[in-house]
Structure 1
Amino acid sequence: MRDQRESLRALQDWYAAQCDGQWDPLSGIRIGTLDSPGWSLRIDLSSTGLAGRPFTEVKVQGDDDDDWCHCRIRSEVFEAFCGPDHLVDVIAIFLAWAVAAARNAAH
Structure 2
Amino acid sequence: MSRLITSYRVDSDSPDGETDVPGVGVDVLAGLMGVPADRLVDVYRLEERHTAVLGTLTGIESDLATHEYFLEAVADWSTARRNGPPANRRAVSALHEPP
TM-score normalized with structure 2 length:
0.31
- Greater relative contact order (Cα < 8 A, sep 6+): 2
TM-score normalized with structure 1 length:
0.29
- Higher Cα radius of gyration: 1
